[in-house]
Amino acid sequence: MTSRLFAATLMLSAAAITAPAFAFDWRQAEGTEITLLASEHPWTAGVREHLPEFEALTGIKVNVTAFAEDLYLDRANLAIRSAEPVADVFMSLMDAAIYEQWNVGGVASLTPFLSDAALTDAAWDYADFSPALLQGASFPPGDAAAGQFAIPISMEAYILFYNKALVDQHLGGQVPATWDDLLAGAQKVTDAGAGEVFGAVMRGQRSGSLVDTMTGIVLNAWGEGEAPLPGNIWFDGAWDKPRFDDPRIAAGLAHYAGLLKAGPENALSFGWEDASRYFAQGKAAFFVDASVFGPGFEDAANSAVAGQVGYAVLPAVDGVSVSGHWAWGLSMAENSQKKTAAWLFMQWAVDFH
């Protein structure tokens, strides 16, 4: 993965330091043709660029079928439920989405491949991945014998982006250090913006993608207390025990709502595409979302705020700042008839250069 594509995103390398004890057979599925079903994403752009290298290494042909994220999620869910194979490898959201796909039997376990020396290059070190990150696609949840159903390809955390010029103009150059300060500062910018500039833009559209950013903000209000999987902060040890009335969760939701209120009147129609574009046009002082947006904001050809964006951790709540992380992974369709070739591609695809 080129650093140009993911300069602001933590990428997880799967390359071991030591060389394998024997030459791994990368051409064991030569002549096979597989399909990658993907979301249009910087990672996907990188794969397209480097695919000739994989095809030369393995003799495997890879067809990439990609869609915008909202459409992609529907296509992926249909593909893994199809009676006939549609894709062999697909990008997986390592959250409730991969859990549901596993729950309906649509995702193949990767554990047998990981433990087979003939299928997994000894130079590809599974232990290089963070156990906490892998846990998001390890099922059944909490089972010591759980299988692995996705491998991470990119990770992002929820941070505060700010427009330096607007912060200088309206807030005396002071970046808010607490949520109370952030909400007050965002509203101050909106009040002075005359409907042209706003204090904040956020995802507000009712959709699955709203949950990720919202959870990051609520985790910040939750603080350093335990939030064990699979219920995390939202459920208290069981799926029939929601805890939305917990004061910490209520505070986090209020923080999220407060930023929405300091945005445009149509903020509830904004997806991440709309909110990030608004911020890139210089129309908002603050934007809380995934760190992956950073490189786009610094692209002078497509961003009016290139060179004027500040990056900070989420403002503190009771002296503590924490955040959530979110990851894309790669999974193998259970209905794939080309699993060996699919697994060879997955090994290469998390560590291509």
- Residue 23, domain member (yes or no): no
Q: How many CA atoms lie within 13 A of 43 on its CB side?
A: 27
CATH code of residue 339: 3.40.190.10
Residue 43: strand pairing partners: none
Residues 273 and 333 occupy one common structural domain? no
Q: Does residue 89 lie in a domain region?
A: yes
Q: What are phi and psi of 255, to 5 degrees?
A: -65, -45
236, 243 contact by CB (below 8 A) = yes
Same structural domain, 63 and 150: yes
Tell me, yes or no, whether 271 and 250 share the same domain.
Answer: yes
pLDDT of residue 42: 81
Residue 24 within a domain = no
The tens place of each residue's pLDDT in the chain, 353 residues long, gives 333 333 333 333 333 333 444 589 999 999 999 999 999 988 898 899 999 999 999 999 999 999 988 789 899 999 989 988 999 999 999 888 899 999 999 999 999 999 999 999 999 989 899 888 898 899 998 787 889 999 999 888 999 999 999 999 999 999 999 999 999 999 999 999 999 999 999 999 887 778 889 999 999 999 998 887 778 899 998 889 999 999 999 999 999 999 999 999 999 999 888 999 999 999 999 999 999 899 999 999 999 999 999 999 999 999 999 988 888 999 999 999 999 999 999 999 988 65
Residues 78 and 114 in one domain: yes
User: By residue range, what is the domain housing residue 344?
Assistant: 33-155+328-349
Residue in this structure with the two tokens 């994403």, named with its chain if needed: 41
Q: Do 139 and 58 fall within a single domain?
A: yes
Six token digits for residue 214: 């919202």
Instruction: Please check whether residue 273 is in contact with residue 279, taking contact to mean a CB–CB distance below 8 angstroms.
Output: no
Q: Same structural domain for residues 42 and 122?
A: yes
Residue 247 within any structural domain of the chain: yes
Residues 140 and 167 in one domain: no
Same domain for 238 and 107: no
Number of domains, the chain: 2
Distances (CA, A) of 130 to 28, 66, 218, 347: 29, 28, 23, 16
pLDDT value at residue 4: 32
Does some domain include residue 192?
A: yes
Residues 143 and 218 placed together within one structural domain of the fold: no
Are residues 132 and 228 located together in one domain of the fold?
no
Looking at this protein, which amino acid is placed at residue 188? K
pLDDT value at residue 133: 85
Residue 14: what pLDDT?
Answer: 35
Cα separations in angstroms, 18 against 12, 22, 26, 164, 283: 17, 12, 18, 45, 50
- Cα(64)–Cα(24) distance, rounded to whole angstroms? 25
Q: Which amino acid, residue 324?
A: G
Whether 12 is covered by a domain: the verdict is: no
Query: What is the spatial distance between Cα 232 and Cα 228, in angstroms, rounded to a whole number?
Result: 5
Give this prediction's pTM: 0.78
Domain identity same for 111 and 209 = no
CB 53 within 8 A of CB 160: no
Considering the domain boundaries, does residue 248 fall inside one? yes
195 and 342 share one domain: no
Note the pLDDT of residue 229. Answer: 72
pLDDT of residue 352: 66
Q: Helix crossing, 247-261 with 210-222: angle to 10°?
A: 130
- Say if 100 falls within a structural domain: yes
